[in-house]
Amino acid sequence: MLGKTYDTILQAVDEMPVIDTHEHLPHGMGESHCGEDILGEYLTHYLSSDLVSAGLRPDDLAKALDPSLPLMERWDVVEPYWEVSRYTGYGRALDIAVRDIYGFDSICRETIEELNQAFQEKNHERHLRYVLKDLCNIEISILDIGNFGSSYDPNLYRCAWRPEDYIRPYTDEEGEDSLERIEKAYGSEVQSLDNLVDAFEGELELRLSQGIVALKIGLAYVRPLRFDKVDYTTAKRSFAGAIRKWRQGDTEQGSLVAREVQDFMMHHVLQVASEKQLVFQIHTGLQEGNGNTISNSDPALLNNLFLDYPDVTFDLFHIGYPYQGVTCVLAKNFPNVFIDMCWAHIISPSIAVHALSDFLDAVPYNKISGFGGDYCFVDGVYGHLYMARRNIARALAQKVADGVFSTDTAIKIAHSLLYDNPRRIFRLEEI
């Protein structure tokens, strides 16, 4: 039992301001929530993956998300899988949220209708601000604006932009074509690799003028994180063939270019990031959803990039779980590699505690960012941060119990993890 030491540290941690390193929250004009009701909101992200893992069929999940059906009919579909998933990190975060935000003991058959009524009656825009500012004490969140970008509230957010359309142009299952978007943004046809490079650099300048503080890639969802150096001639020839097929309509869903073009463009993006001194966020470890190739996301695959671009600050997401030991070694070995605990506290709360303890043993603590909510809806951010504060306090209290440092030092380290480190890493003090 950690007793009074834990209580003292937690009391201090609960009062600390937070820099939130990663969010997917609504941010455009008129956007403030994801679902029309409580099930539509809470099943948008994370929890639905555990429900499917527990046996919920995808067609039943679609039924549970359908707002045209009666709420209790949809709850009947979800309930058996919720009951076996509610003790995972994803489930616990939401039970904590409804307890502290809405005043209900838990999400269950007896509360779901009243909870839904409370959800629908709130002003969602005011609610988002209330949760982030008043309940969470989050000073700024780093918002993932995706490939496109849109307006955002600078009182709530700074932004990370994904240049993935340029690294891996693609067509998705809805028919969204990133080369079409690039040509529209570029104002001209993309006829060569040089055009693609010019379009990227032009859009980057636009994003910088809009105040982005980082670049981000999530390509581990669709390919391995190993990016080899490819010579210009090879990439140019490959892209020419790809663009010819694309103009002829001879393409399928997925990447529009071969891997050598993707690798070439990744290295070019990093060269520019080095020149601009931009933070580069990378999704490593577990992919959200159900069914993927986990080995694609091993942070060890990035080793060559850390060597080739020593002036780029690499922010490795999600502690790389289940490769958190590799993440620890990389951060220990490379001055330009930093650990980001976004998402980690709800993936596995116990692993987050053990991993943080390991990180503190092996890595200078100024290289660790302690929290990123990584949610599409704001109630989840509250539940996640509640758990993160306790995980951090628990790991630090154990260090005090082991005689590693004092309680006062533990509180100082906690402040660094939650505020000082991300503020410095993302250069927020300069904004």
Of 193, 287, 213, 185, nearest to 21 by C-alpha is 213
pLDDT of residue 29: 47
Which tens digits make up the pLDDT trace of 258-307? Answer: 999 999 999 999 999 999 999 999 999 999 999 999 999 999 999 999 99
The Cα–Cα gap between 74 and 226 comes to 42
Collapse the DSSP code of 140 into the 3-class scheme (helix H, G, I; strand E, B; otherwise coil) and give the result.
strand
The Cα–Cα gap between 333 and 337 comes to 8
Name which of 92-96, 146-150, 316-320, 410-414 the model is least confident about.
Answer: 146-150
Which residues sit opposite 144 in a β-bridge?
A: 160
The Cα–Cα gap between 404 and 365 comes to 13
Both tokens of 91, joined, read: 């489930």
pLDDT of residue 259: 97
Confidence of residue 20 (pLDDT cuts 50, 70, 90): very high
Both tokens of 76, joined, read: 């009947």
Give the mean pLDDT of 380-397.
98
Cα-based distances in Å from 175 to 171, 238, 253, 258: 6, 23, 8, 19
Q: What is the mean pLDDT of the chain?
A: 94
The Cα–Cα gap between 58 and 290 comes to 10
pTM of the model: 0.95
Tell me the H-state helices in 210-334.
232-247, 259-276, 303-308, 324-333
The Cα–Cα gap between 384 and 417 comes to 15
Give the mean pLDDT of 214-236.
98
* Selected residue with higher pLDDT from 27 and 124: 124
Which tens digits make up the pLDDT trace of 141-178? Answer: 999 998 776 678 899 999 999 999 999 999 887 777 89
Which tens digits make up the pLDDT trace of 344-353? Answer: 999 999 999 9
Percent of residues, the chain, with pLDDT higher than 90:
86
Is residue 390's pLDDT more than 60? Answer: yes
Which tens digits make up the pLDDT trace of 393-409? Answer: 999 999 999 999 999 99
Is residue 32's pLDDT more than 60? Answer: no
Which tens digits make up the pLDDT trace of 96-133? Answer: 999 999 999 999 999 999 999 999 998 888 999 999 99
Which tens digits make up the pLDDT trace of 352-381? Answer: 999 999 999 999 999 999 999 999 999 999
Which tens digits make up the pLDDT trace of 184-206? Answer: 988 899 999 999 999 999 999 99
Confidence of residue 30 (pLDDT cuts 50, 70, 90): low
Give me the torsion for CA of 269, 272, 273, 277, rounded to 10°: 180
Give the mean pLDDT of 32-46.
86
